[in-house]
Structure 1
Amino acid sequence: MKKTFKLNGLECANCAAKMEQAIGKLEGVQNATVNFMTTKLVIEAEEDKLPAIVEAAEKIVKKIEPDVVLIKA
């Protein structure tokens, strides 16, 4: 299942790459893509694990860039 989020306040391309790598390593994630230009995060993951993955992704985003807000697109 695919979920798209807007990364509100994302201003660092390097941080976006770090987020993509860290989220991609989460258990149950098949693919994670952060597009810095559109400030979008797309997570492709197992449907039953998605709520936990989204929660973990939010924590990763906050850890890397505290001012970024994850919004469901």
Structure 2
Amino acid sequence: MDVPLRTNFHSPKSFDREAIKRYGFHDQGIVVVSIHDPRLTWDQREILKAIGEKLFGNLSEHKHRTARARGGNIHFFT
């Protein structure tokens, strides 16, 4: 799905990533979060991992395939 990016940021050299994440959530309903975020509990991480794998494929398989291909700078995205 192509969604135009709307932003009030003008080529910043540094930016507040958390502010951008908050804006994306409040304005677009987009959530950007690492499954390694220390603010999450174990069960919250597992839920996010399950959602991510449902939408984007198996995380451990992707890491394995990418690591094998790194020697040739080839990355497989499924």
TM-score norm. by structure 2 comes to: 0.29
**More strand as a share of residues:** 1
Relative contact order higher in (CA < 8 Å, ≥ 6 apart): 1
**More helix as a share of residues:** 2
TM-score norm. by structure 1 comes to: 0.31
